[in-house]
């Protein structure tokens, strides 16, 4: 009897769910590190461009190198928003399981969403020399959190279905019935589905409708993995690899046929032609490629945990960043901007431009500094678990 009880106890210990999903922290941390390159290069490099897909446009790059230096960062926003939905689902389930009321969870999401909107207006927009009305990725996530404070009560399968429908069909949405004469109407269209920088100060890059579809799918993924044991999580490795590979193959097919799913049509057969896809708003091709790559990163995180490599210094540093993504995001902007805000439409023109080599050096040094700050911030959160720090 004692031996039997001991065996059961050991089994429970082995299959007990982890407090955190390490493979998510790894993926999110790696994505944040890649994202930092996009911003430091945008702040200091003359040939770093963006705006792919705004109003159907495709701004040219000076050469393939600069295109790829921008393209590699496309993985960041979709992964960031997808995993925001995943973590939101996991934390919501666990809050309710601990005995929090539905009302408490709803108010927590609303407060967190409002905090993100405040941070975008005050800290993020000025880092990009943009007006406080700029609607970027943090404001988009904040708005989605407020929506999810109510939408979370819908069945998970329905949320997943809605998310997939939005991703596959948002390009057909026509908002022409909303007048463009009034500034409020122009701004509303930009926030909902038509990102643009055409009318100061009503700027928006991350429109709600396409991106909430990504968050919906992330929410469904979070609900799917939350009850799983560590062993069951390990078994997700191969399905994630297959999903990622299938998504990338689907991207190739969509670009090959050059019709549906391409908000920026393929103009030729060069590498740039094949990879130049719309990010604002995200096309089907864009999401197939980026979310497919995300699946491969998630699988890599599972492999690292399976092989006991989480203690590796580099991997541990990535995890530290991944556990503090919002703090990293806010601090890295001002660290890499390295100048006072000007609150004017200057297109982020720096006092001087850097060559690629010095920019890479600045980037690398900055990542080390940011890792240290994230580590110290995490200690601070453990010491003071209840104040405003829980929202950042």
pLDDT of residue 351: 86
pLDDT of residue 4: 40
Task: Give the three-class secondary structure for 320.
Answer: helix
- Angle at alpha carbon of residue 377, lines to 319 and 315, rounded to 5°: 15
Place of tokens 């429908």: 165
* Domain-embedded: residue 6: no
Task: Give the three-class secondary structure for 196.
Answer: strand
* Domain-embedded: residue 19: no
Q: What percent of the chain has pLDDT over 70?
A: 93
| pTM of the model as a whole | 0.93
Greater confidence (322 vs 385) lies with: 322
pLDDT of residue 15: 38
Greater confidence (391 vs 320) lies with: 320
Q: Label residue 232 by pLDDT band (50, 70, 90).
A: very high
* Domain-embedded: residue 5: no
Decide if pLDDT at 11 tops 50.
no
Decide if pLDDT at 265 tops 70.
yes
pLDDT of residue 6: 40
pLDDT of residue 135: 97
Lowest mean pLDDT among 155-164, 272-281, 346-355: 346-355
Distance of alpha carbon 321 from alpha carbon 196, whole angstroms: 31
CA dihedral sign of residues 11, 13, 19, 25: negative
Distance of alpha carbon 145 from alpha carbon 328, whole angstroms: 20
DSSP string, 41-91: HHHH-TT----TTGGG-----SSHHHHHHHHGGGGHHHHHHHHHHHHHHHH
pLDDT of residue 340: 84
Decide if pLDDT at 389 tops 90.
no
Instruction: For residue range 162-194, list pLDDT tens digits in order.
Output: 999 999 999 999 999 998 889 999 999 999 999
Mean pLDDT of 125-140: 94
* Domain-embedded: residue 386: yes
pLDDT of residue 3: 44
pLDDT of residue 346: 59
* Domain-embedded: residue 103: yes
pLDDT of residue 345: 58
* Domain-embedded: residue 153: yes
Domain ranges, residue 133: 32-391
Task: Give the three-class secondary structure for 204.
Answer: strand
Quick one: residue 153, left, alpha or beta (phi over 0 = left, psi -120 to 50 = alpha)? alpha
Mean pLDDT of 11-24: 62
Q: Label residue 61 by pLDDT band (50, 70, 90).
A: very high
Averaged pLDDT of the chain:
92
Could you give the number of structural domains in the chain?
A: 1
- For 296, other C-beta atoms within 10 Å of its C-beta total 18
pLDDT of residue 343: 63
Instruction: For residue range 208-227, list pLDDT tens digits in order.
Output: 999 999 999 999 999 999 99
Greater confidence (348 vs 118) lies with: 118
Distance of alpha carbon 330 from alpha carbon 343, whole angstroms: 17
Distance of alpha carbon 301 from alpha carbon 371, whole angstroms: 19
* Domain-embedded: residue 9: no
Q: Which two three-digit tokens encode residue 173?
A: 């949405």
Distance of alpha carbon 65 from alpha carbon 346, whole angstroms: 25
* Domain-embedded: residue 2: no
Name the helix (H) or strand (E) containing 145. Answer: helix 137-151
Decide if pLDDT at 392 tops 80.
no
Distance of alpha carbon 78 from alpha carbon 297, whole angstroms: 13
pLDDT of residue 384: 83
Q: Label residue 290 by pLDDT band (50, 70, 90).
A: very high
């Amino acid at each position: 009897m004692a031996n039997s009880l001991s065996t059961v106890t050991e089994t429970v210990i082995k299959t007990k769910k982890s407090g955190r999903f390490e493979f998510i922290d790894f993926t999110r941390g790696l994505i944040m590190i890649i994202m930092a390159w996009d911003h430091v290069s945008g702040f200091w490099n003359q040939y770093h461009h963006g705006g792919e897909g705004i109003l159907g446009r495709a701004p040219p790059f000076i050469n393939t190198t600069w295109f790829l230096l921008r393209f590699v960062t496309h993985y960041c926003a979709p992964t960031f928003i997808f995993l925001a939905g995943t973590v939101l689902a996991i934390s919501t389930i666990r809050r309710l399981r601990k005995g929090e009321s539905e009302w408490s969870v709803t108010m927590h999401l609303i407060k967190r969403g409002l905090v993100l909107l405040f941070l975008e207006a005050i800290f993020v927009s000025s880092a990009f020399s943009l007006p406080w009305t700029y609607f970027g990725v943090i404001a988009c996530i904040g708005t989605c959190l407020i929506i999810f404070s109510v939408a979370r009560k819908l069945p998970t399968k329905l949320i997943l279905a809605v998310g997939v429908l939005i991703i596959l069909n948002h390009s057909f949405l026509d908002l022409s019935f909303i007048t463009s004469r009034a500034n409020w109407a122009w701004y509303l269209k930009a926030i909902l589905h038509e990102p643009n920088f055409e009318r100061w100060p009503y700027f928006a890059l991350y429109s709600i409708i396409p991106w909430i579809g990504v968050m919906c799918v992330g929410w469904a993924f979070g609900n799917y993995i939350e009850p799983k044991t560590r062993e069951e999580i390990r078994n997700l490795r191969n399905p994630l690899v297959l999903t990622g590979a299938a998504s990338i193959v689907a991207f190739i097919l969509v670009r090959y046929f050059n019709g549906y799913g391409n908000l920026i049509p393929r103009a030729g057969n060069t590498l740039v032609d094949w990879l130049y896809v719309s990010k604002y708003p995200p096309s089907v091709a864009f999401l197939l490629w980026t979310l497919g790559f995300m699946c491969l990163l998630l699988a890599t995180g599972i492999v690292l945990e399976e092989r006991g490599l989480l203690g590796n210094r580099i991997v541990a540093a990535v995890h530290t960043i991944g556990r503090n993504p919002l703090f990293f995001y806010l601090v890295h902007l001002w660290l890499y901007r390295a100048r006072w805000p000007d609150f004017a439409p200057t297109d982020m023109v720096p006092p001087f431009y850097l060559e690629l080599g010095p920019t890479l050096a600045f980037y690398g040094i900055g990542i080390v500094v940011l890792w240290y700050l994230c580590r110290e911030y995490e200690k601070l959160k453990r010491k003071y678990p209840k104040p405003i720090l829980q929202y950042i």
